[in-house]
Amino acid sequence: MYGKKVMGIERTTFVINGQGKIAHIFSKVKPEGHAEDVLALLKK
């Protein structure tokens, strides 16, 4: 951007368990198909 390096947007999803602790982290998420990935994890 105007000759400068920028990071941009980085999406991350945190799955929190019933005890309030982070159970899983999805890094560098792409919106397409992400909901299905999260649902698959939750069904395990």
- Span 20-42, pLDDT tens digits: 999 999 999 999 999 999 999 99
**CA diameter of the chain:** 46
The answer to whether residue 44 scores a pLDDT higher than 90 is: no
Number of folded domains in the chain? 1
- Span 5-16, pLDDT tens digits: 887 889 999 999
pLDDT of residue 1: 66
Range of the domain at 38: 13-43
**Location of structure tokens 């395990």:** 44
- The answer to whether residue 6 sits within a structural domain is no
Contacts of 28 (CB under 8 A, 6+ apart): 10, 11, 12
User: Three-state SS for 15?
Assistant: strand
- The answer to whether residue 17 sits within a structural domain is yes
- The answer to whether residue 4 sits within a structural domain is no
pLDDT of residue 26: 97
- The answer to whether residue 2 sits within a structural domain is no
